[in-house]
Amino acid sequence: MSANRLGRWSALVVFLIGVIYAITLATGLAIFGLTKPIADPVLAIMEVLTLLSAPALVVVMAAVHGYAPQERKTYSLTSLAFMILAAGTTSAVHFVELTAFRQMGSAGIAWPSAAYALELLAWDVFLGLSLLFAAPVFENHGLARVVRRGLLLGGFLCLAGVLGPALGDMRLQRIGVVGYAVVLPLVCLMLSILFRGSESLTAPSQ
């Protein structure tokens, strides 16, 4: 499988997981409201979806690195490094939550807690930096410009979400949620289309 095809399908997987996650999150908010933490079984489903999305996001950024022209590979490699940090951190948090913490009877992510802080480090800081460094890889015209701007928007929104834990007002963290739960899946859909076009351009003629 070519790098563009692998990136295309991985980006599409991230988009589909994002849609399912948004539906699950909306269900959780409808059941538990905005003032109470989301609990099982909705929380468990969200954590499994997060674990599934983490390796797919790493593959997406690996494909972005393969797609990048030689003079921009420093940006794509830095983006990949931050995505690996994001994926590793969030995977550790949710693996522990789904296994040890549930068996200890202490499952659940609520602020303030070490688990929640690590989760925000992954999705607000590491992911935000990854998206920002990925943006310069793409040209400033056509569909690539849409991807470029989407990456910049998602990255800035994720980083802005740090204001929540930093100031102790978690309502501000919802800015970051828009970045990784809304903008990121849409960017991945655009990436999937872009990779598909690049794949057809590089395919050998019959």
| pLDDT surpasses 60 at 201 | no
User: In the numeric block, which tokens belong to residue 189?
Assistant: 């859909």
Element (H, E) at 10: helix 3-32
112 cis-preceded (ω within 30 degrees of 0): yes
- b/e per residue 143-179 (b: at least 16 CB within 10 A): ebebbbebbbbbbbbbbbbbbbbeeeebebbebbbbb
pLDDT in tens, 138-152: 998 899 999 999 999
pLDDT in tens, 48-78: 999 999 999 999 999 999 999 999 999 999 9
Share of the chain above pLDDT 70, in %: 94
Higher pLDDT, 103 or 181: 181
The answer to whether residues 60 and 76 touch, using CB atoms and an 8 Å cutoff, is: no
d(CA 140, CA 175): 26
The answer to whether residues 160 and 176 touch, using CB atoms and an 8 Å cutoff, is: yes
What local confidence, expressed as pLDDT, does residue 1 receive?
Answer: 61
Share of the chain above pLDDT 90, in %: 74
pLDDT category at 107 given cuts 50, 70, 90 is low
* pTM: predicted TM-score of the whole model, two decimal places: 0.90
- Domain coordinates of the chain in residue numbers? 3-197
In the chain, the amino acid numbered 52 is L
| Listed residue (133, 48, 119, 124) closest to 88, CA to CA | 119
Higher pLDDT, 54 or 103: 54
Output Rg (C-alpha) for the chain, integer angstroms.
17
41 cis-preceded (ω within 30 degrees of 0): yes
Q: Is 134 helix (H, G, I), strand (E, B) or coil?
A: helix
Q: What is the mean pLDDT of residues 36-53?
A: 91
What local confidence, expressed as pLDDT, does residue 38 receive?
Answer: 83
Mean pLDDT of the chain: 91
Distances (CA, A) of 93 to 11, 118, 141, 161: 23, 7, 39, 19
Total length of the chain: 206
| pLDDT surpasses 90 at 183 | yes
